[in-house]
Every structure is written in C-alpha cells, then in structure tokens.
Amino acid sequence: MENLRIRKYDGQELAALAFIPVEPSMVLLVAHGFRGAKENGGKIYSFASRLQELGIAVYAFDFIGSGASDGSFADITLSRQADDLAVVMDYAYKRHQLPLLLLGRSFGGSTVMARGSTDQRVAGFILWSTPVMLKDCFARIMGSDFNKLKKGKSVRFQDEAGEFALNPGFVQDFDLHDMEHYLAAIASRPVLLVHGKEDEAVDFANAEYAARQLTNARLYLVDQADHRFTWLTKEREDITINWLRETFLTRGR
C-alpha cells in the first residue's frame, strides 16, 4: 500500500491510498460519500486486497475538506468534488495508461457520474447507495435547513462524527448539474448499482430510476441493507467483485 499526496492545480493536496498489484489490468478509483473518508471505516483494506488479487489497481482518496486532505468541508460542492476526482483520474491514468473504473459511495457516486460521464477513459461505473434525485434527497435529509442553504445562509449540523458547517454553495451548486444528462452519457457503458432496501438516507427509488435510464446496467436491491450496508458489507463487496469478474475479466477467455 502507498500513502500519496496528490497536488491540485491550486496547490491543495488530496490524500490517497494506492493498492497496486504486480501487473494491473485496470484501475479502480473509489470516491467516498458525504462526510466519509477514503478508508470507509477500515473496510477499504480488505476490499482492495480482494481487488488486487483480480489484477485491479485501487486508488481511494479523500475529497478536499474531508479526511486527511487539505481544505474546508464547509465549502463542499458537487462541482468541487468532480474537480478533485478529475485530478486523481489524471494521476492514475498517467501512471498506468490503463482503463479506469469509478466506484462511488453515496454522494461519491453522484460525483462519479458528474465527472466520469464525459470521460472515455472510464470503462465502467459502480454506484453504491447513490442519490440521483439530489434536491429531493438532501431536502428530505436536511429538512428546513435545506431551504436556508438555498436562500444563501450557512448552516451548522450535528451527526455521529460531530458538528460541521455547510455553506450555501452546496445546495446552490445542484443547479449546475443535470443528473439525467449524466445518466444518458453513461447509458451504454457497464454500470453496477447496489442499494439497500432499508436505506434510511437515500431511497432505493434513486437506483431504480437510474437503472431505467441505462441500457447496460445491473441493479441489485439488497434486503435488510441500510445506507452503509452496516451488516452486509461482504455481500455488497461480493456483488461488486462478481460483476467486475463477469463484465471485464472474462472477456476473450
């Protein structure tokens, strides 16, 4: 495993972990969710090890303002995260010159769609518990605070990790992103959607809606799984690895 600092054009640095097999055939980039981090509560290590056994290199990184990366979380926007992802994609592609796969957890999945949809280096997409109806999703989660952000007010929130602030750009930036356009742009490429039927944060209707717009997608709705797949992590990983093997690693064999 490598610990990396990847510099952006503005001088800020993204913290990343790289897991590189001896002879990789593809590169998988992992984008964490809202308030998440590259380690995914420690789950990234065993998952990346399994992927390395398949010959897939893995890069997991912290968005600006999250984890060990530079910057302020309060200034998070989908646009900024898409820009961060672009930097990591360029780094990984320059290093390996191999097809890229993008995996996004929750809001990281929204980011994967926003940035990866127009990039033909991306061979496939994996969307775990991903919101595509962004305004509806965050309005339900945030309640009246969503409208405060929409009207230009900064808001403080509390979650299990502590208190955090959000600036209005987070919500206002949604208007710059057409998720239906992104779905149309990736429609013919392989897409895996995995979503829990007991997701308390992002309704699985998001995954069903996305799957209907895609022509080369596989949708798994998992019984008794919450937003984080708390008790079903291995099942989600098994689904993902089996899909990768069937979709990319058995061709021509």
pLDDT computed for residue 198 by the predictor? 98
Place of tokens 């992103």: 177
pLDDT computed for residue 159 by the predictor? 87
pLDDT computed for residue 160 by the predictor? 85
Give the Cβ contact number of residue 199 at 10 Å. 22
pLDDT computed for residue 162 by the predictor? 87
pLDDT computed for residue 227 by the predictor? 98
pLDDT computed for residue 251 by the predictor? 56
The C-alpha angle 85, 107, 15, rounded to 5 degrees, equals 40
pLDDT computed for residue 253 by the predictor? 39
Domain total for the chain? 1
Of the CA atoms within 13 Å of residue 85, those in its CB half-sphere come to: 31
CB 216 within 8 A of CB 190: yes
pLDDT computed for residue 161 by the predictor? 81
- Joined tokens for residue 18: 């790289």
User: What sign has the CA pseudo-torsion 193, 83, 138, 75?
Assistant: positive
CATH number, domain of 207, equals: 3.40.50.1820
pLDDT computed for residue 252 by the predictor? 44
Identify the burial level of 213 via C-beta atoms within 10 angstroms of its C-beta, where 0-12 means exposed, 13-18 middle and 19 or more buried.
Answer: middle
Give the residue numbers spanning the domain of 177.
2-249
Low-confidence ranges of the chain (pLDDT < 50): 252-253
